[in-house]
């Protein structure tokens, strides 16, 4: 479940960053970007089992998308992915 909680935090940070950029709140966007990067490194380490020395964001995005597709049948590139993943995660937690 730790992976799913980190995934949720990562996607929330990503969404917050996009919203801050579109409303031109660049300091808030920078903070969200920093949070997104921290969560992405943690997720990468959990999913791959490798220590991060040279982080490849393209490889990471592909790994996260594959994980979400296999577990939740949702792509992270879908605009409503955060909502769908949180919904599926909570249903799984409830055993439904």
Query: Distance between CA atoms of 44 and 37, rounded to whole angstroms?
Result: 10
Question: What pLDDT is attached to residue 34?
Answer: 92
Burial 14-49 (b: 16+ CB within 10 A, else e): bbbbeebeeeeeeeebeebbebbeebbebbbeebee
pLDDT by residue (tens digit) across 47-63?
A: 877 777 777 778 888 88
pLDDT by residue (tens digit) across 2-51?
A: 888 888 888 888 889 989 999 999 999 999 999 988 888 888 888 877 77
Record the pTM: 0.78
């Amino acid at each position: 479940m730790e992976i799913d909680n980190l995934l949720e935090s990562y996607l929330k940070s990503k969404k917050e960053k996009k919203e801050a950029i579109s409303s031109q709140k660049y300091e808030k966007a920078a903070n969200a970007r920093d949070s997104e990067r921290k969560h992405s490194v943690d997720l990468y380490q959990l999913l791959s089992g490798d220590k991060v020395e040279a982080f490849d964001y393209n490889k990471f995005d592909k790994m996260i998308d594959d994980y979400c597709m296999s577990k939740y049948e949702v792509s992270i590139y879908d605009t409503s992915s955060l909502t769908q993943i949180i919904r599926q995660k909570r249903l799984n937690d409830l055993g439904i």
